[in-house]
C-alpha cells in the first residue's frame, strides 16, 4: 500500500494532537522538560549544553513509563503487524480480507491482531457473525507516518 495514503481523519490526527503529544512526551509531571528553553538558547528539543544535558537526567520519565513505551515500540517490530496496520488505514476490514491484503494466512493475521488489540492499536466491532477491525485512533496513523517519514529522509 502507498505510504502516502491517509485515512479520512488524517489531518485531525496530524493537527494539534501532534503538538500535544510532543509536549506530553517532553514535559514531566513536575513541569520540567527535556529540552527547556532559556534566554541563551531559545526553544530546543535536545540541547547539548552542560546545563540542559545535566537537567535532562533529572527529567527522565518514570521507569514504568519507559518500559511501557519500549513494549509499544516492540509491537511495531513485526513486518506482518505493520502490513496489517497499513491495510486498516481509513477502513474497516474482516480477518479474511486483511489476510488477502497482506498475503498471510487468516490464522497468522488473527494472531497478530490479538497483539495489536492488546497494544490498543486496533479496535474491533461485531457485524453479525463477522468481526470488523480498524485502527484505534489517529495516533496509530501518526506513529506510522512519522516512522515512514524518518526512514525516507
pLDDT in tens, 42-68: 544 555 555 656 666 678 999 999 999
Q: Give pLDDT, residue 57.
A: 63
Q: Give pLDDT, residue 48.
A: 59
Which percentage of the chain shows pLDDT scores above 70?
Answer: 62
Burial of 19 from C-beta contacts in 10 A (0-12 / 13-18 / 19+)? exposed
Task: Please report how the helices 95-102 and 106-118 are oriented relative to each other, as an axis angle in degrees rounded to 10.
Answer: 110
Residue 140 has pLDDT above 80, yes or no: yes
Q: Give pLDDT, residue 59.
A: 84
Q: Give pLDDT, residue 53.
A: 61
- The structure's pTM equals 0.65
> Residue 108: which residues within 8 A CB-CB, separation 6 or more?
80, 99
pLDDT tens digits, 85-104: 999 999 999 999 999 999 99
pLDDT tens digits, 6-55: 444 444 444 444 444 444 444 444 444 444 444 444 544 555 555 656 66
Residue 77 CA to residue 2 CA, distance in Å, equals 20
Amino acid at each position: 500500500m502507498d505510504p502516502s495514503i491517509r485515512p479520512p481523519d488524517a489531518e485531525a490526527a496530524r493537527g494539534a494532537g501532534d503538538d500535544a503529544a510532543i509536549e506530553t512526551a517532553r514535559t514531566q509531571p513536575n513541569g520540567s522538560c527535556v529540552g527547556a528553553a532559556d534566554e541563551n538558547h531559545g526553544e530546543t528539543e535536545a540541547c547539548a549544553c552542560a546545563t540542559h544535558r545535566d537537567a535532562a537526567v533529572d527529567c527522565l520519565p518514570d521507569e514504568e513509563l519507559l518500559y511501557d513505551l519500549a513494549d509499544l515500540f516492540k509491537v511495531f517490530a513485526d513486518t506482518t503487524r505493520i502490513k496489517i496496520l497499513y491495510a486498516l488505514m481509513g477502513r474497516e476490514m474482516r480477518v479474511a480480507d486483511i489476510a488477502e491484503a497482506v498475503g498471510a494466512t487468516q490464522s497468522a493475521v488473527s494472531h497478530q491482531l490479538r497483539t495489536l488489540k492488546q497494544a490498543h492499536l486496533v479496535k474491533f466491532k461485531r457485524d453479525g457473525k463477522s468481526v470488523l477491525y480498524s485502527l484505534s485512533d489517529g495516533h496509530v496513523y501518526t506513529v506510522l507516518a512519522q516512522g515512514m517519514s524518518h526512514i525516507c529522509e
